[in-house]
Amino acid sequence: MIAPQIFLLSPAHCGGKRAAVLLNDRAAFPLAERLRSVGLTLGEAFSFLSGLYFRGKLTYAGRFARPPAGCSGVQVITTDRGLIPADATIGANDLRQFGAGDISAELPQYRVPLQRDLARLEQFSAQVVLLGSVASNKYVDLLLEAFGERLLFPSDFVGRGDMSRGGLLLRAAEAGQELAYEPVAGAVRRGKRPPKLAPRPRRAAQA
């Protein structure tokens, strides 16, 4: 029997130029207009802010999540609200508040809500896969405290930059081939940069 599996996604940067474009009250492109009116899913908003990397994480996690009953299979780490399901709806004010916070275990506004939500996840019998950087301790220390050896990450992330990780995840999702994982605890988190990904094959034009 295949074990349940939950993905935790590192967040997009909400205080940069792309955030300013999306939050511009005069912006007329559909995504910005929808954010101001009915809102966007967190996944949609962060995919716009982060581009290929977050889109790769979101697509891959949606493809391979196997959540237990009563639990979202794709959850996003935030600066001030702990974990939020990727399909939760947010508005412009939510995005501004994310951008005003920072990710540091020294900050209670980040640490306390995240610890609360991690404690809730601990009750589920599922392996937890982090799709985010394991080279720093921004996320890893708190997640290891909660899950220990149950916390996994894709082995192929080591040495790759954000864009390479995003491309890798999109290719794996499209091919339906799940990556190999290993426990974060005791893993080599930094390594030699691997060769660049081969260009994705062009799809044949439809007749």
Q: What is the DSSP string of 127-179?
A: EEEEES--SSHHHHHHHHHHHGGGEEEEGGGTT--HHHHHHHHHHHHHHT-PP
Provide the edge-to-edge strand list for the sheet that holds 5-9.
83-85, 74-77, 5-9, 127-131, 151-154, 181-183
CA distance to 56, 74, 76, 115, 155, per residue, from 48 (Å): 12, 17, 15, 27, 26
Determine the pLDDT at residue 3: 86
pTM: 0.90
Give the strand pairing for 89-90 and 40-41.
antiparallel
The confidence band for 154, taking pLDDT boundaries of 50, 70 and 90, is: very high
On the question of pLDDT at 110 being above 70, the answer is yes
Per-residue pLDDT at 70 exceeds 50: yes
Which of the four pLDDT bands, split at 50, 70 and 90, describes residue 160? confident
Mean pLDDT score, 97-119? 94
Q: How far is CA 126 from CA 119, 147, 150, 159, 186, in A?
A: 13, 10, 8, 27, 20
In the chain, how long is the greatest CA-to-CA distance? 58
Pseudo-torsion of CA 154, 183, 146, 114, nearest 10°? -20
Enter the tokens of residue 151. 């916390």
Helix (H) or strand (E) holding 124: none
CA distance 144 to 53: 23
Decide if 35 contacts 24 (C-beta within 8 A). no
Q: pLDDT class for 205, splitting at 50, 70, 90?
A: very low
Q: Higher pLDDT residue, 206 or 170?
A: 170
DSSP string over 184-198: STT-----PPPPPPP
- The per-residue pLDDT for 207 is 35
